[in-house]
Structure 1
Amino acid sequence: MKIHNKLFLILFSFTFSIIAGLVVLIQYSIGQGIIDFVNAKEVKALEPLAVKLSKEYARTPSWEKIVGGDEQFLMLVNAQLRDSQFLPATRGVPQRPFMRNDDRFGPPRGFGQRERRPPPEHAAHYVLLDENQQRIFGKLFDDLKYIKTPIELNGKTIAYLGVSKRQSLADGYELDFLKQQTNYLWLIALTAGLLTLLLSFLLSRHLVGPVKQIANGMHKLTKGQYSTKLSLERKDELGQLSEDFNTLAFTLAKDEQVRKRWLANISHELRTPMSILLGELEAMLLGIREPTHSNISSANDEALHLKRLIDDLHMLNSAELGGMHYTMQPTDIGFLLNSIEQKYHVIFEQHNIKFYLLNSANNSTINADKTRVLQLLDNILMNAVHYAQCSTISLTATNINIKGHAYLELIIEDNGIGVEQTHLSHLFEYLYRVDSSRNRQEGGSGLGLSICQHIVKGHSGEITAEKASIGGLAIVIKLPLFTQ
């Protein structure tokens, strides 16, 4: 079953069950309320009889003399309820006044015994009880509950006038009212059910529609259609999910382009030195070129270039898989930068490059792998020496604070040809070259800056490329300072 149908059935069934339950509960509550109202009304109608019986008892303290028997008791009740909607069980019996000693009826047969036949649930039964709530006259059933009105004389209860509680209604305007309310309730329930059906359908479609679009989009992504884009104008979680989907599709498309460019570049990078090497070896084998020291040295250079490329690829692969290990220890910034200056002094003189070291972080320490940091600076400086065509290189070290955290900022600038703004964000991608026609024998593997980025990330730092203040390219490195 589809999720749309499941959601619709769940919403409709749950809501309809609540509505039906409420209707039944309200109907039961109204019915019980009306029955309780009728019972209370009947007790109210019998209150004058209790007053009369109290007055008669004051004159003649004998219930047998006052009432006479069961039949006479029911006649009294019938006389009291004559003008009301309530009629006793002995309907049609002639009415008699209060009896005296000389004209009362004798006790009926079975006097003092309770009747055992269960009465109809809608009929009321009346009983006169003594002060101990024992039957004197009338009908007292074990299965019925009675509302007992005390008959008092001089503040003392001398008897009780009881009427059984009705459990249902047989006739009267209350029954008509109850039937009318029941019809209204079921009409309301039917209307609410239809509205629930409509709302459940609309709500399920409103919720499931975007899910279907996202599912279709995911299906297209699995087929490699990374240009798929969703346009859900929603402000809820599904809208956020659609935005995340679009971000995912864009990322996959970008990664696919990078992968294709990576495959093209790596195949080209490997093919170039390999073709040169095979061409030189084939020429020497065919006798076109003599196997002189110079020719063999040229072939060896191509083999070394190929080896460096493979080594860099292996290092990058190790970094991606977490295989580039770091031995972290507190490292003094001043000592590190002085080592760099001494190491490259001769190289800078050979290329007629002026080097300026501006260190305002002499007393600072970073937690770093010294070998990896030297490799990082080596790659950046050698790039500047070989490719920037510069005459000046500066290295500035300062301490900065970013959001309450202390960092060492290293800025390596040159005054060379620089890099266009559009290329700056791509310099750290694998095999990315600003000048694709550069001689690959001099151009290196194209992986140096990618390795630099992995080293900086391994030290929880950040590396970016910017326009230099002195005209060329600036590499900015931020490394967290060591805190004890």
Structure 2
Amino acid sequence: MKIHNKLFLILFSFTFSIIAGLVVLIQYSIGQGVIDFVNAKELKALEPLAAQLAKQYERNASWKKIIGDDQRFLRLVESQLQSSQFLPSLPDMPARQSNRGERRPRPPQHMGQRDHRPPPEYAAHYVLLDKNKQRIFGKLFDDLRYINTPVVLNGETIAYLGVSKRKSLADGYELDFLKQQTNYLWLIALTAGLLTLLLSFLLSRHLVGPVKQIANGMHKLTKGQYSTKLSLERKDELGQLSEDFNTLAFTLAKDEQVRKRWLANISHELRTPMSILLGELEAMLLGIREPNNKNISSANDEALHLKRLIDDLHMLNSAELGGMHYTKQPTDIGLLLNSIEQKYQVLFEQHKINFYLLNSSKHAIVEADKTRILQLLDNILMNAVHYAQCSTISLTARNMEIKNKLYLEMTIEDNGVGVDKTHLSHLFEYLYRVDSARNRQEGGSGLGLSICQHIVKGHQGEIAAEKASLGGLAIIIRLPLVKV
């Protein structure tokens, strides 16, 4: 069964059960309320009889002299209820003498005794009880509940006039009212059921519709259709889920592009030195080129280039798998930068590059792996020396605060050919190089900046590429400082 049908059945069944239960409870409550009202009304009608009995008892302190027997007691009740709606329900009254002079039948032999027969539910029975609630006259059934009105004389209760509680109604306007209310209730229930049917259908479709779209979108993603996009204008969890789905689809599409570019680039990067190496070796084997030191050295350079590429790929793979280990300890980056300046002084002079170190950082202590930081700076500086075609390189270090956290910011700039803005966000991808701005004849694997990014992230820092104020490329590195 589809989720739409399941949800519809659950909502409709649950709501309909509640409505039906409420209707039954309300009907029962109204019925009991009407019956209680009738019982109270009947007891109210007998209050004058209670007052009359109290007056007679004041003159004759004997119920036997006042009433006589059960039959006379029931006649007193009949005469009190003569003009009320309750007279027809008297089940205990013997038949009156007809106009033709017929005599009333004698009362049953059990009259005046406790009766154990189940009485009709709609009938009321009357009894006179003494102050200890023991029967004097009338009928007292074991399976009936009685409501009593006291017979009071001079502020003292001398007896109780009891009426059995009805369990149902046989006639009267109260019964008509009850039937009318029952009809209204079931009409309301039927209307509510139809509304529930409609609302359950609409609500289930409202909830399941987006789920179907998301399910269809996921099915398309499994087939590699990463351009799939959902357009759910909702402000609830399903709307958030659709936004997450679109983000996932965009990420997968981007990763797929990167993967394809990675395969194309890696095949090209491996094929180029391999083709050159095989061409030179084949030329020497065929005797086209002599196997002298110069030709062998050229072939060796290509082999070394291929080895560096494979080593860099291995390092990146280790970093992705968590295999690039760090031995961190508090390191003074200021001293480290001074050593960098001395290390590359000769190299900068050979390439006629002016190097400027501007270190305004004080107490720049970073929890870092010194070897990895040197590797980081080495990759960036060598990248600038060999590929930027620059004459000036500057390295600026300063302390800064971002969101109440202290960082050491290092900016390495050159005045070379620079990189177009469209390429800046891709510079840290594997094997991404801008051909118009980098000299591929010099070698290089195209993985240096990717390795740099892994090193910086391994130190909980950030790295970014921007256009330099000197006109070339600027690499900005931020590393968290240790509070001294």
Matched with 2:237 is 237
SS at match of 2:371: helix
Which segment is superposed worse, 473-482 or 359-368? Answer: 359-368
Contact persistence 1:277–1:303 (CA under 8 A): yes
Which residues in structure 2 correspond to 1:364-379 (within 5 Å)?
Answer: 364-379=364-379
> Deviation string for 1:280-303 (max 9, x for gaps)?
111111111111010000000000
| Unpaired stretches in structure 2, ≥5 consecutive residues | 98-105
Counterpart residue identity of residue 308, structure 2: R
Which segment is superposed worse, 163-172 or 234-243? Answer: 234-243
SS at match of 1:115: coil
Matched with 2:91 is 89
Counterpart residue identity of residue 53, structure 1: L
Judged with a 3 Å threshold, the aligned counterparts in structure 2 of structure 1 residues 350 and 437 are, in CA distance, closer, same or farther, namely: closer
> Deviation string for 1:426-445 (max 9, x for gaps)?
11111111116965441300
Contact persistence 1:415–1:471 (CA under 8 A): yes
Contact persistence 2:111–2:139 (CA under 8 A): no
Matched with 2:327 is 327
Counterpart residue identity of residue 320, structure 2: E
How many Å separate the matches in 2 of 1:415 and 1:393? 7
* Cα shift at 1:156: 1.4
Judged with a 3 Å threshold, the aligned counterparts in structure 2 of structure 1 residues 318 and 108 are, in CA distance, closer, same or farther, namely: closer
Matched, 1:415 2:415: yes
Which residues in structure 2 correspond to 1:66-215 (within 5 Å)?
Answer: 66-87=66-87, 88-91=90-93, 93-94=95-96, 109-110=109-110, 113-215=113-215
How many Å separate the matches in 2 of 1:363 and 1:107? 119
Which residues in structure 2 correspond to 1:354-373 (within 5 Å)?
Answer: 354-373=354-373
Counterpart residue identity of residue 143, structure 1: D
> Deviation string for 1:201-236 (max 9, x for gaps)?
000001001100110011011000111111112121
How many Å separate the matches in 1 of 2:96 and 2:200? 65
Counterpart residue identity of residue 89, structure 1: P
Matched with 2:385 is 385
Give the count of matched residue pairs.
474
SS at match of 2:187: helix
Question: Aligned residues: percent identity?
Answer: 84
How many Å separate the matches in 2 of 1:139 and 1:259? 99
* Cα shift at 1:483: 2.3
Contact persistence 2:12–2:200 (CA under 8 A): yes
How many Å separate the matches in 1 of 2:108 and 2:124? 21
SS at match of 1:228: coil
How many Å separate the matches in 2 of 1:107 and 1:194? 57
Matched with 1:396 is 396
Contact persistence 2:362–2:399 (CA under 8 A): no
How many Å separate the matches in 2 of 1:256 and 1:191? 56
How many Å separate the matches in 2 of 1:211 and 1:333? 54
Matched with 2:433 is 433
Matched with 1:248 is 248
Matched with 1:98 is none
**TM score, norm. by length of structure 1:** 0.95
Judged with a 3 Å threshold, the aligned counterparts in structure 2 of structure 1 residues 18 and 317 are, in CA distance, closer, same or farther, namely: same
**TM score, norm. by length of structure 2:** 0.95
* Cα shift at 1:8: 0.2
How many Å separate the matches in 2 of 1:131 and 1:436? 118
> Deviation string for 1:160-192 (max 9, x for gaps)?
111100010011110111001000000000000
Q: CA RMSD in A?
A: 1.6
How many Å separate the matches in 2 of 1:363 and 1:166? 97
How many Å separate the matches in 1 of 2:138 and 2:433? 114
> Deviation string for 1:143-167 (max 9, x for gaps)?
1111111111111111111110001
Contact persistence 1:127–1:137 (CA under 8 A): yes
